[in-house]
Structure 1
Amino acid sequence: MNIIQQFIKSLYSPETIAKFRMQKIGKTILYVFFLMFLVTIPPAIVLGSGISSIYDKAETHLVNTFPDFTIENGVLHADIDEPIIVEDDGEYIIFDPNGELRIDEINDYGNAFALLEREVAFVSGGIHEGISYQDFGITIAKPELVELVENLGGILPLIIGLLIFFIYVFTTGMKFVGIFALSLIGLFLSKRNAPQLSYKNLWVISAYTVTMPTVLFAIIDILQISIPFSFTIYWVIAIMMLYFVFGHINKPRGATHE
C-alpha cells in the first residue's frame, strides 16, 4: 500500500490502521511529514496570496496615503491627530504614530499591515508578526522606507517561501509531540485492550490515528470556522479513533477482560 492509499484509509478505517502496526518507524515518520505537507498546502496558498496582496496595498498607501514621517530612536513620528485606517478589498492598512492602537488589536482586522508607534505589525491568514523599530536600530524617513519596501518586493517570494517552510517545520514538530502524547495514552489503554502491543507498535498506530482529526481541523481552519473547545475535541476524536483501532487487534490467546 503506497503512502497516498495509507492516507486515504487512515481517514476512516481503524481496521486498516491496526494493520500498519508492524510497519517500520522510518516509513511512519515519512508518512507524518507527508500528512503535514498536505494539510499545510491550503493555508500556505492563502498566506502567500495574502502577503502579496497586502504588500501591494501597503506599498501603494505608503506612497499615496500616509503623511511624511520619521522613525527615530525606535518611535514613529508624524504630525497627525488620529490613526489612519484604510480598508481596501477586505484588507487594512493602518498608520498610528500616536499609540492609540495596541499590537494585539491589529488581529481584529483580519488581514492587515500597520505602522504603529513603536513597531510594525502584519497579519495574514491567521499569522501575526510584529517587529519593534528598536530592533532595526536605524533612523529612517518616509522616502527611505518607500525605497526599502520597493526593494523588498524583489525578494518577497523568497520571504514567503521561508515563512511557509518555518511554519511547516514548526507544525510538523508539534505533530510529532502530539503523536508521542497519544502513544503514551495508548500505552495505558492497551493494557486492557491490546496488551501484546509494543511501544513501537503504539507509536506507529498513533501516527496514523491522528490523520482524521488533523485533516478535519485543517479544513475547519481553511473555512475559518470557530469551534469552542477545539483542542479538547481534537483529542477526544484522536483517542476514540485509537480505541477503535485497538478493537481490530486480536488479543493473545488466554487474554480476558478483568
Structure 2
Amino acid sequence: METKMGFRHKLAYSFFNLTAYKEFLRQGVGKSIFYIFLVTIIFSTIVNIITLSSFNSDISKVQAKFINEAPNFTLENGVLSIDSTQPIYYKHDGQTLIVDTSGATTLSALSPYNNGVYIDANSITFRQNYHTLKTLKFSDFANIGANNNTFREALSVFKFMYNVTLLFIDPMLSFLENLFSVFLILGPGTLIISSIIGFKLNYSKSCTLSFYAMTSSILIEALLNVAQIDIPEFYILYYIIALIYCVLAIKKIKNIDNSNLNVTK
C-alpha cells in the first residue's frame, strides 16, 4: 500500500529517514522528477533573491553616483569625449576605474592597481591580477553612439534583465542541470553500486533514488552560494555526497522487508 507523503515530508525524510527511500521507489520516477523540480526552484530562488538583494543595492548606488557625479560624455564615430579636463579615478571593492580622454595619462596609470579598467578617448582596457586581459577599440563599434541618457537607460535595462534571468531563467536551467546529473551520472552510478551491493535496481529505479539522494548536495551548494564560499571542483563533492546517500539508502532497503517492492521491473 502506497504511503502518502507531502513535499515537506519528502524533503525532511530525504536527509535523515533512509527507510522512506523504499517508499520513494514505490512512487516512481515521475514523482521524483516533480520533487526535484520543486526542490530546485525553491533553493535556487532563495539563493537568487539574496544575490539580487546585494546586486540591486550595488547597481542602485552606481546609478545614483552616475546621475549625481558623472560628467557629460558622448561616444560618437568611435571617439569618446568627456566634459572633464582632469582624469577621473573611481575605486570600489578592489576595482579601479580610470577615465581620461584629455590625454593627461596613459595606460600605465593602471599599472599600480591589481584589477581595474582604463578608458581613454579611443579604447577601453580591462586588467586583472596585474595583467591586461583585453583592449576594445571604440573604432570597432563606430556605428554605436552613446551619452549619459543612453547609459542610464542601459543600466536600467541591465538591472531588469539580470533580475529576470536570476528569478525565472536560472532556476529552470538549474532544474535541467539536475536532470542531466541524474540521468547521465548519478543514475548510472547508482545502478552500478546497487549491483555491487547485491540489491540490483533497474535504471528507472536508480534515477528515482538519485533524485531524492541529491537533496543534501543541493542544500549544501545553496548554503555555500549564500555564504559566498567557493570550493574548487565542488561538483565532485556534490556527486560523492549524493552517491553516499544512495549507498546508505540501498543498504537500508536491502535490510528491511521489500516483499511489496519490485525493484527489477
Fold-level similarity (TM above 0.5): yes
Instruction: Give the counterpart of 2:16 among 12, 17, 24.
Output: 12
1:164 is aligned to 2:170: no
- In 1: Cα distance, 2:253 partner to 2:169 partner: 38
Alpha-carbon RMSD across the aligned residues, in angstroms, is 3.8
- In 2: Cα distance, 1:135 partner to 1:243 partner: 57
Letter in structure 2 aligned against 1:163 = L
CA contact (8 A) 1:66 1:95 kept: no
Letter in structure 2 aligned against 1:142 = N
1:235 is aligned to 2:239: yes
Please name the residue that 2:180 is paired with: 177
TM-aligned CA deviation for residue 139 of structure 1: 0.6
For 1:1-258, what aligned pairs fall within 5 Å after superposition?
1-72=5-76, 78=82, 84-87=89-92, 94=97, 96=99, 100=110, 105=115, 117-118=123-124, 138-146=144-152, 148-149=153-154, 152=156, 160-180=163-183, 181-250=185-254
- In 2: Cα distance, 1:247 partner to 1:158 partner: 47
* Structure 1: stretches of 5+ with no match in the other structure: 107-113, 121-131, 254-258
Identity of aligned residues (%): 19
TM-aligned CA deviation for residue 38 of structure 1: 1.9
- In 2: Cα distance, 1:74 partner to 1:174 partner: 41
- In 1: Cα distance, 2:142 partner to 2:237 partner: 42
Letter in structure 1 aligned against 2:144 = I
TM-aligned CA deviation for residue 119 of structure 1: 9.2
TM-aligned CA deviation for residue 214 of structure 1: 1.2
CA contact (8 A) 2:77 2:142 kept: no
TM-aligned CA deviation for residue 201 of structure 1: 0.7
Which string of whole-angstrom CA distances, capped at 9 and with x for unpartnered residues, describes residues 61-99 of structure 1? 222333333334677555688663243xx6978465777
Q: Flag the 1:47–1:225 CA change in 2: closer, same or farther, 3 A.
A: closer
Larger radius of gyration: 2
- In 1: Cα distance, 2:199 partner to 2:79 partner: 63
Q: Flag the 1:49–1:9 CA change in 2: closer, same or farther, 3 A.
A: same
* Structure 2: stretches of 5+ with no match in the other structure: 101-105, 127-136, 260-265
CA contact (8 A) 1:11 1:212 kept: yes
TM-aligned CA deviation for residue 215 of structure 1: 0.5
